[in-house]
């Protein structure tokens, strides 16, 4: 039986004891004091605190135990199965973490002269080239710090493209399918476009007639994931791209599901103009908890001068790598410096270790695992796989608990909490919105068969309990986790997100 570690729920502020310290101050030399005073004088007076920062007073032991215990109450890919659909929560090889701990990496600074960081620039340059080759793009920037940030960069390139052509005043719309990731319409809106949503057809793909009807002279571009969030490959992708290109729109590829197609097919060959990657998904770098992430963006040749500056290029004559600012239509910088280098380095090590054939094998195993798990879970009473019941999926699939809900009143949310109680992370639930009681499952290539079989057995147990009149056992979950059953509605309506909010709530 699974039991998650549980410790006291005290916040670190509540453990504070006045006068307790975790370090010993050292006296500054006369020279150091002078430098300190000079620095203070450069800070505007309105930015200087008039009272000490309110931090908890703790010993080193207090701090270490507090965060160690928090880590024991957490759940991640190192703890167990994490099939969060469209998030590609695969195992992150520790060798990729190791290379980022080397002093040569830890002790560099982005303000160093480019002659002193040639090795780092070589890594950025080569990774950019590899991503371009994998995607069929011409040039890639590594600046964006997350997948959504990559989306923003890509859509800003669409905006800039139409601005340069002096038709931005009429290019007002971005098309997205109804199965799109939520960040797609959000990004389009942030970049000043109106979002036009088109429906899926009976196969779970873009409805070509609806697309043709939606496209007009106002269409600036389309954002599309392929395979899509249903785990379905858009077989009419060439026709879709042609429709967009006919009105001078640009086709944007959301790389969230790139893990399914490495070495098999390239977005550039499908006709896409812009691609974003999630290094923290496809290329096994850590993600979650807000970062750090990396969302590189690649473009076809005619758009290469729209990329953020600088990119990194190589001069054969001088045998050196250098920052390239000669991009006359650049959208400008999208973050400070040149990208999250520690994440870039992890992805570089991952690709270098696997090679071309290894990356292809990654996608093959990801698709195989998804199809195996789909085949054994869709047979469970109360569950079904809309759009893919009698055909193969790609790297993920969406299981629907609609029948289970109608016949037993057990919903996807109840199933998710029951899974937690048995040591498995739930899949993405209630997404995509076009499938009722959705459980979007992505097992990734790193999980063994016995883990998939175990997951299926827990889903079967849900069905058995629900149909045998023992639904109360399901509804009691989770009771084996560090945090038990919570009031979802209260948590959504009255979130307490900081210690200040907690104190106010208690007063």
Q: Write out the E strands in 13-165.
A: 139-141
∠ CA 409-410-411, nearest 5°, is 110
The reported pLDDT for the residue numbered 171 is 98
Query: Is the same domain home to 319 and 369?
Result: no
User: What's the pLDDT score for residue 141?
Assistant: 98
Q: Mention every residue, 6+ apart, whose C-beta is less than 8 A from residue 334.
A: 143, 144, 149, 152, 153, 156, 308
Q: Which of the listed residues 353, 383, 414 is the one where a domain comes to its end?
A: 353
Contact 289, 76 (CB under 8 A): no
Question: In this structure, are 328 and 185 located in the same domain?
Answer: yes
* 382 is a domain residue: yes
Instruction: Based on the fold, state whether residues 368 and 409 are members of the same structural domain.
Output: yes
Domain co-membership, 252 together with 393 = no
Please state the length of the chain.
507
Same domain flag for 379 and 326: no
Inside any domain, residue 100: no
Tell me how many domains the chain contains. 3
Residue range of the domain that includes 50: 1-73
Residue 81 CB contacts under 8 Å (≥ 6 apart), including other chains: 424, 425, 443, 447, 451, 454, 455
305 lies in the same domain as 404: no
Per-residue pLDDT of 304-355, as tens digits, reads 999 999 999 999 999 999 999 999 999 999 998 888 999 999 999 999 999 9
307 φ, ψ (degrees, to nearest 5): -65, 155
Q: What is the CATH number of the domain that holds 472?
A: 3.90.1150.10
Domain boundary among 333, 353, 373: 353
- Tell me, yes or no, whether 193 and 295 share the same domain: yes
For the chain of 507 residues, list the mean pLDDT of each consecutive stretch of 10.
84 92 87 92 90 91 94 91 94 93 91 94 98 98 94 98 96 96 95 97 95 98 96 96 98 97 97 96 80 90 97 97 96 92 95 97 98 98 92 96 98 97 96 96 97 98 98 95 89 90 87
Lookup: tokens for 369: 């695992």
Strand order, beta sheet including 438-441:
397-400, 438-441, 428-429
Q: How far is residue 250's CA from residue 158's CA, in Å, rounded to a whole number?
A: 7
Sign of CA dihedral 197, 203, 205, 211: negative
| Cα(85)–Cα(428) distance, integer angstroms | 5
> Strand 194-198's sheet: what is its strand order?
139-141, 297-299, 274-276, 250-254, 219-224, 173-177, 194-198
Distances (CA, A) of 230 to 203, 277, 429, 436: 10, 19, 13, 13
Torsion on CA atoms 197, 406, 398, 184, rounded to nearest 10:
30
CATH number at residue 337: 3.40.640.10
- Residue 498 located in a structural domain: no
Task: Please state the pTM of the whole predicted model.
Answer: 0.92
- For the record, the structure tokens of 486 come out as 């919570």
Same domain, 381 and 334: no
Query: Which of these three, 353, 375, 394, is where a domain ends?
Result: 353
- Is residue 238 domain-resident? yes
pLDDT score, position 66:
94
| C-alpha distance from residue 491 to each of 203, 215, 461, 477, 494 (Å) | 37, 41, 28, 17, 5
Q: Looking at the domain assignment, is residue 163 inside a domain?
A: yes
Separation CA 234–CA 383 (nearest Å): 24
CB 289 within 8 A of CB 310: no
Residue 312, beta-bridge partner list: 323
Provide the CB-side half-sphere exposure for 133 (13 A, CA).
11
Residue 99 lies in a domain: no
pLDDT confidence of residue 223: 98
The pair of three-digit structure tokens given for residue 254, joined into one six-digit string: 């959301």
Co-location of 399 and 434 in the same domain? yes
Specify whether 379 is located in the same domain as 336.
Answer: no
Neighbours of 367 (CB within 10 A): 23
Three-state secondary-structure class, residue 298: strand
Indicate whether 211 and 312 sit together in one domain.
yes
CA distances to 29, 105, 117, 323 from 110, rounded to whole Å, are 29, 11, 9, 12
Examine residue 248 and state whether it is found in any structural domain, yes or no.
Answer: yes
- Residue 291, pLDDT score: 60
User: Is the domain of 129 the same as that of 179?
Assistant: yes
Burial label for 434, CB within 10 Å (0-12, 13-18, 19+), is middle
Q: Is 347 within the bounds of a domain?
A: yes
pLDDT at 23: 85
Residue 409: the pLDDT is 97
């Amino acid at each position: 039986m699974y039991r998650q570690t549980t410790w006291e729920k005290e916040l670190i502020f509540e453990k504070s004891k006045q006068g307790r310290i975790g370090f010993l101050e050292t006296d500054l030399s006369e020279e150091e004091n002078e430098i300190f005073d000079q620095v203070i004088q450069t800070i505007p007076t309105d930015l200087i605190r008039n009272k000490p920062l309110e931090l908890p007073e703790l010993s080193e032991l207090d701090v270490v135990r507090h965060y160690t215990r928090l880590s024991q109450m957490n759940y991640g890919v190192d703890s167990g199965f994490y099939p969060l659909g469209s998030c590609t929560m695969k195992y992150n090889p520790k060798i990729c973490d190791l290379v980022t701990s080397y002093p040569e990496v830890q002790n560099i600074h982005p303000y160093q002269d480019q002659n002193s960081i040639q090795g780092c620039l070589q890594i950025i340059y080569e990774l950019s080239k590899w991503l371009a080759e994998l995607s069929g793009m011409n040039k890639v920037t590594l600046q964006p710090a997350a997948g959504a940030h990559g989306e923003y960069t890509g859509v800003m390139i669409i905006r800039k493209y139409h601005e340069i052509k002096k038709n931005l005043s009429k290019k007002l719309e971005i098309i997205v399918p109804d199965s799109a990731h939520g960040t797609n319409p959000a990004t389009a809106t942030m970049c000043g476009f109106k979002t036009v949503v088109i429906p899926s057809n009976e196969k779970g793909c873009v409805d070509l007639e609806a697309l043709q009807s939606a496209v007009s002279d106002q269409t600036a571009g389309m954002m599309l994931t392929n395979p899509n969030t249903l785990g379905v490959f858009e077989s009419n992708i060439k026709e879709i791209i042609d429709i967009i290109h006919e009105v001078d729109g640009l086709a944007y590829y959301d790389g969230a599901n790139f893990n399914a197609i490495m070495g098999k097919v390239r977005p550039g060959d499908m006709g896409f103009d812009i691609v974003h990657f999630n290094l923290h998904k496809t290329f096994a770098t850590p993600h979650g908890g807000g970062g750090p992430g990396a969302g590189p963006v690649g473009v076809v040749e005619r758009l290469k001068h729209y990329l953020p500056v600088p990119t990194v290029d190589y001069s054969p004559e001088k045998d050196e790598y250098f920052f390239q600012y000669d991009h006359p239509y650049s959208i400008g910088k999208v973050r400070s410096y040149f990208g999250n280098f520690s994440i870039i380095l992890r992805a570089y090590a991952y690709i270098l270790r696997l090679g071309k054939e290894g990356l292809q094998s990654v996608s093959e195993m990801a698709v195989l695992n998804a199809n195996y798990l789909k085949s054994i879970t869709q047979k469970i009473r109360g569950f079904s796989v809309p759009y893919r019941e009698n055909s193969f999926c790609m790297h993920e699939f969406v299981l629907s608990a609609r029948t289970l809900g109608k016949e037993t009143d057990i919903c996807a949310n109840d199933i998710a909490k029951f899974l937690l109680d048995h040591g498995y992370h739930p899949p993405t639930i209630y997404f995509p919105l076009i499938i009722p009681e959705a459980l979007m499952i992505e097992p990734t290539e790193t999980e063994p068969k016995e883990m998939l079989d175990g997951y299926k057995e827990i889903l079967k147990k849900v069905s058995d309990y629900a149909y045998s009149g023992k639904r109360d056992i399901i509804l009691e979950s989770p009771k084996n986790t560090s945090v038990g059953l919570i009031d979802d509605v209260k948590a959504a309506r009255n979130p307490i997100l900081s210690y200040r909010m907690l104190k106010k709530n208690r007063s």
